[in-house]
Amino acid sequence: MKKTKGSFFKLNGIRLPNGAENILALLSVFFDAIILNSVFANIFILWLRNTPQVEIYLSSYYQVRYYLFGFYVFFGLINGVFSIRRFNAPSDNFACVTRTMLLTFFTFYMAAFFSRELAAYAHTFPRAIFLLSTAGSICSIFLLRAVIAVLFKPHPLLLKTVIIGDIAEGRRIIKHLHRRGGIRFRILKTMASSEVDELASVVLLKHIHEVFVTDPAINLDKFWAQIYYARKEKPHAFNVRITIDTRKASGTVGLHSLEDYPLITIPSFPLNRFESFCKRAFDVCFSIFALIITFPVMLLTALCVRLDSPGPIFYKQRRVGLYGKDFDVIKFRSMRMGSESSNGPVVSTSDDPRISKFGKFIRHFGLDELPQFFLVLIGEMAVVGPRPERPFFVDEYFEFQGRRLSVKPGVTGLAAVNSRYYLRLVDKVTYDYYYLDNYSLILDIKIVFQTIWVLLFKENRKKLIGVESEQFESEHCEKRREE
């Protein structure tokens, strides 16, 4: 792929803007607009042919089509319907479009429930349009794929690719994908599994779009560390696709097929667009609710912190967030001033002498963590996710951080709900990975309720929200500081 002057690059002789994928996505929207509007119009015309109130119903159609298509584009963007780099099997495309259409019509009828104007249109709206619109949208997707295949067959759109593991297997996968036409993979580098330590530098230097891992037995700790390094510099630039043995795949693993080829696809962000949208909406709504409900408690807590011991009300500490980006975690101060000025980062325990009297109380009920809901609102954190680590411990145990740093840290999380102060690192990582592999909005809600329950009613309440990276074994940390 040869760069040219200006904001263009060459694809085997064809000059396209650097945002070529966005242009092709707009082309997808254009195709859907033509097909869906044609579907809507034909359904109404056929349905109204023998209906006496044609003018009223046609008026409904002209109004409804704008609402429906607007909702469709919105949810289509969330679900990735218009993404040119979707290489899923037909069944996956069908599920994606069907989900989008369900959300479109559900939102339309929900809006009609609150709007008299829309309610009048919805009352005259033929229900059969849902099935035909879904079929029309699917036809639009396949038509776009066919157009891309024809347009780019002489000069295909190339995705820079690296294969690590079984090289022959990787080439077979790519050869299989190339039979479908359209976007193609250009193999820039092949690597043995033993060369995994060089993966990040290859991805960054060669501007890789796709990483194919064809050895399921690869050292995952080293692999995820390399992925973390690369995504820290290029957060949304490449996907990771791992071949699997479907006979050994668990029922809860995020298994997807790439043009009918069994692969685990690990995109730049572990959640798809729809899941990310739902999670962010939940985070914002729950944080606003939590801040409103706990505002009097926060005021009283701030006053008591000030009266309990000299020093500021809030305590800031650097933590590592999404893709290794540092940010400041804000808490109500629970320790006396200067607790780490001489010894540096040390392990915090339930009977830590550095904790003030009132600090023990607010840690007991997790009240010191309430200001973090402001960080959720501005997008630094999520309500549920892996707890944020301090840079010292991220560097110390870096091989365990890869996937944990691919999502926003959480105010609470699965590891926090199930852990005590001296949770073994391997158990903590296991909980966090289980959360990433099994994410759902229902799981987030369940963890929130479990957090509230344990804080209020369990004996070991201290094991929750305040459990940070200080959980690591104190002996190893002391040894590290001595070195």
Q: What is the pLDDT of residues 56-76, one digit of tens each?
A: 556 666 667 777 788 888 888
Predicted local distance difference test score (pLDDT) of residue 186:
82
Predicted local distance difference test score (pLDDT) of residue 384:
92
Q: Do 316 and 457 fall into the same domain?
A: yes
- Judge contact between 384 and 446, C-beta under 8 A: no
199 Cα distance to chain centroid: 23
- Tokens for 342, please give them: 């001489």
Predicted local distance difference test score (pLDDT) of residue 376:
93
Measured in residues, the chain has a length of: 483
Q: Do 134 and 178 fall into the same domain?
A: no
Q: How many domains does the chain have?
A: 3
Predicted local distance difference test score (pLDDT) of residue 121:
65
Residues 6 or more apart whose Cβ sits within 8 Å of residue 343: 481
Final residue before a domain boundary, out of 268, 285, 309: 268
Q: Do 95 and 165 fall into the same domain?
A: no
Q: Do 456 and 331 fall into the same domain?
A: yes
- Judge contact between 381 and 351, C-beta under 8 A: no
- Judge contact between 321 and 327, C-beta under 8 A: yes
Q: Do 294 and 387 fall into the same domain?
A: yes
Where in 333-409 does DSSP place strands (E)? 382-384
- Judge contact between 370 and 301, C-beta under 8 A: yes
Q: Do 127 and 183 fall into the same domain?
A: no
231 Cα distance to chain centroid: 14
Final residue before a domain boundary, out of 151, 167, 186: 151
Q: What is the pLDDT of residues 422-440, one digit of tens each?
A: 556 666 777 887 787 777 8
Q: What is the pLDDT of residues 13-27, one digit of tens each?
A: 333 444 556 676 777
Final residue before a domain boundary, out of 131, 151, 171: 151
Considering Cα of 187, then 191, then 192, then 194, what sign does the dihedral take? negative
- In sequence order, which ranges of 213-336 are alpha helices (DSSP H)? 220-233, 273-308
Q: Do 46 and 117 fall into the same domain?
A: yes
Range of the domain at 86: 2-151
pTM, to two decimals: 0.58
Nearest to 211 by CA among 88, 221, 224: 224
Q: Do 236 and 354 fall into the same domain?
A: no
Considering Cα of 245, then 247, then 248, then 254, what sign does the dihedral take? positive
- Tokens for 284, please give them: 């914002």
Q: CA 444 to CA 282: how far, in whole Å? A: 9
Q: What is the pLDDT of residues 212-250, one digit of tens each?
A: 888 877 887 788 778 777 877 765 567 788 775 433 434
Nearest to 140 by CA among 61, 256, 27, 23: 27
Q: Do 86 and 141 fall into the same domain?
A: yes
Q: Do 311 and 454 fall into the same domain?
A: yes
Nearest-10 crossing angle of helices 54-79, 90-114: 130
Other CB atoms within a 10 A radius of the CB of residue 9 amount to 15
> What is the β-pairing status of strands 256-258 and 410-412?
unpaired
3 state DSSP class of 28: helix
